[in-house]
Structure 1
Amino acid sequence: MHFALADLRLFIHIAESPSLTQGARRAHLSPAAASARIKALEGQFDTRLLYRDSRGVELTPAGHKLLQHARLIMRQVDYLKSEFTEYGTDQAGHIRIFANTTAVTEFLPEVLAGFLAQRPGVTVDLQEKLSRDIVRGVLDGSTDMGIIAGPVRAEGLQVLHFSTDRLLLAVPLGHPLAAEKKLTLRQTLAYQHIGLHDGSTLLSFLRDQVERLGGTLSLRIQLSSFEAVCRMIEAGVGIGIIPESAGRRHSRTMQLAMVELDEPWAVRERSILVRELDALPGSVRALITTLQGDEPQI
């Protein structure tokens, strides 16, 4: 069975009019053309849809049934057109983001708060992922965009730089390392560390660096946020490697000292990953513009 949406809309116009002529006029067709299309529609359904006489038209039982379905179908078509008209703007749509730990916990909440407050029709699914899973997710279309820190090896993706991420060592005031200006990762391994939960991108990254040194990262406790990590460090439970943005913020209210890490990987470029920027919905492109314009401060 094959029929055009235009024929269903014509049928609705005729069913809601006192005559075929007036229904045809609403559809911008001649009466003869409208009559031919209705006959073709009856042929598709293999049943009579209209009674025609000198007084006008009247729906058959099959016509009443078709009218019910035709109205539902055309309503859904109108909804679809409306939804995709909004989808092309930045005022509506659903955005899926895969991001690293720092992005999820440090700067994205503030950026998204302002962005979403201005766009009530936009929803966001934000998921914390490891860097390799972020790249894979953007490549296979599981996410609209990814946010990572550090070098990116991703053929077929657009890499959009938007800020710089610096890792520092946080220690409690009075700690033996607090007076140092610079430290290597190896120098910190003699002390117990406070780390993020398993599965966090930062912990995974640090473990890789420690493994390259042939050392061991001694984790005394693992927590779910940088604030909790900093509170443990302030209490003297251990030391921890955290983003400078988190360290500077929490050191305003906690007794912490920040020591520079003398490692080439300590300064990392933050990047947005997409498959094709111009093909993204308007809401996603607007969020990327917001991120690039409001560089997170470190």
Structure 2
Amino acid sequence: MHIQLQDLQLFVQVAEAGNLTRGAQRAFLSPPAASARIRALEDQLGAQVLYRSNKGISLTQAGETLLQHARLILRQVDFLKDDFAGDEFGGHVRIFANTTAVTEFLPEFLAGFMAEHPHLTVDLQERLTHDILRSIQDGTADLGIFSGEVDAGDLEVIRFSTDRLVLATPQDHPLADCRELRFADTLEHEHIGLHEGSTLLAFLRGLMEKNGYERALRIQVRSFEAMCRLVEAGVGIGVVPESAARRHARTMQLSLLRLSDSWATRDRCVAVRSRSALPRSARALVDALVQSGIGGDVAG
């Protein structure tokens, strides 16, 4: 069996595009040429990897297996190039992270890190925690950033800071004078939530769906800044990471209340398949993240 890297790259591009024509375009091939190469790959493997129809393509079970192996092989080739690229590393790192990380601290952190390493490229995508861990496991992403206790299986998980959730209310809200309260005790009031697909919304739904959180949701928005602005305007109350809440409270009239629930204080972690097996660029990024303690342990 002799499989070329270019054929694996083409297969991954077609599989991720979900369409032979779009995948061929990404590989700078004509659709007939791409189709012929994938059929030749199937002959090499002795298995059909794609179902083809007028609606596009889908993966067979053999195709799912090939996709997992192909991603890992191609990433290892990238890692090899990175490790032998000389003193100034470059390469490409794909990071899947939760909502708080993507919107609050990773942009600033990555701006500084990438300025120090101008040949590095990064693909940062927001994902739910279970998708983050699955993507690290199957090689879709190199680093995964999430908060809270999860079953990470055999992944290597490195803690780098603490994420504390607080309740933001208008200063004249009936709850504003409470120093501490349980999340369940807030559900008689209207809440502002994040958009569908955000990890925080999914977490709160999963935790409190039997306590009426869905009925309490009045509006959903795209960012913590928008949440805080609506809280200030008296539209509702909202659960926000303390670092974001304190930053917005400097310019907005907000009351920030401690949540007594044990889940309100969570470790922020980065997950990898194996830290020692990462290329230099990804290892350096993890090391910088851990050393910075970014998003930090917010006091009181």
The question of whether the paired residues in 2 share the 8 Å contact of 1:157 and 1:274 is answered with yes
Shift of 1:154: 1.7
Counterpart code for 2:113: F
Residue among 265, 268, 272 paired with 2:266:
268
Q: 1:217 to 1:283 in 2, by over 3 A?
A: farther
Shift of 1:289: 0.8
Secondary structure class of the residue paired with 2:245: helix
**Structure 2 unaligned runs (5+)?**
1-77
Match of 1:224 in 2: 222
Matching of residues 113-132 of structure 1 within 5 Å: 113-132=111-130
In 2: Cα distance, 1:87 partner to 1:276 partner: 21
Q: 1:211 to 1:281 in 2, by over 3 A?
A: same
What TM-score does the superposition give when structure 2 sets the normalisation length? 0.70
Match of 2:152 in 1: 154
The question of whether the paired residues in 2 share the 8 Å contact of 1:192 and 1:239 is answered with yes
Secondary structure class of the residue paired with 1:152: coil
Matched, 1:98 2:83: no
In 2: Cα distance, 1:217 partner to 1:166 partner: 24
Match of 2:15 in 1: none
In 1: Cα distance, 2:87 partner to 2:186 partner: 50
The question of whether the paired residues in 2 share the 8 Å contact of 1:87 and 1:281 is answered with no
Match of 1:257 in 2: 255
Residue among 186, 189, 200 paired with 1:202:
200
The question of whether the paired residues in 2 share the 8 Å contact of 1:147 and 1:272 is answered with yes
Shift of 1:216: 3.9
Secondary structure class of the residue paired with 2:120: strand
Shift of 1:218: 1.9
Counterpart code for 1:167: L
In 2: Cα distance, 1:135 partner to 1:117 partner: 28
Divergent runs of 4+, >6 A: none
Counterpart code for 1:272: V
In 2: Cα distance, 1:181 partner to 1:229 partner: 21
Secondary structure class of the residue paired with 1:187: helix
What TM-score does the superposition give when structure 1 sets the normalisation length? 0.70
> How many residues are paired up?
219
Matching of residues 1-298 of structure 1 within 5 Å: 83-85=81-83, 87=85, 91-213=89-211, 216-295=214-293, 296-297=295-296, 298=298
In 1: Cα distance, 2:240 partner to 2:125 partner: 20
Q: Deviations over 1:223-247 (max 9, x none)?
A: 1110111001011110000100100
Counterpart code for 1:219: L
In 2: Cα distance, 1:140 partner to 1:110 partner: 28
Counterpart code for 2:208: V
Shift of 1:187: 1.0
Counterpart code for 1:221: I
The question of whether the paired residues in 1 share the 8 Å contact of 2:156 and 2:271 is answered with yes
Q: 1:97 to 1:181 in 2, by over 3 A?
A: same
**Structure 1 unaligned runs (5+)?**
1-79
In 2: Cα distance, 1:229 partner to 1:166 partner: 17
Shift of 1:185: 1.1
Secondary structure class of the residue paired with 1:160: strand
In 2: Cα distance, 1:85 partner to 1:170 partner: 46
Q: Deviations over 1:220-276 (max 9, x none)?
A: 111111011100101111000010010010000100010001101001111110001
Secondary structure class of the residue paired with 2:91: strand
Q: Deviations over 1:136-167 (max 9, x none)?
A: 00000100010010012022100101111100
The question of whether the paired residues in 2 share the 8 Å contact of 1:195 and 1:223 is answered with yes
Between 96-105 and 211-220, the greater mean CA deviation after superposition: 211-220
Counterpart code for 1:294: S
Secondary structure class of the residue paired with 1:133: helix
Counterpart code for 1:140: D
What's the RMSD between the two structures over aligned residues?
1.9
Larger Rg over CA atoms: 1
Q: State the identity as a percent.
A: 54
In 2: Cα distance, 1:89 partner to 1:195 partner: 46
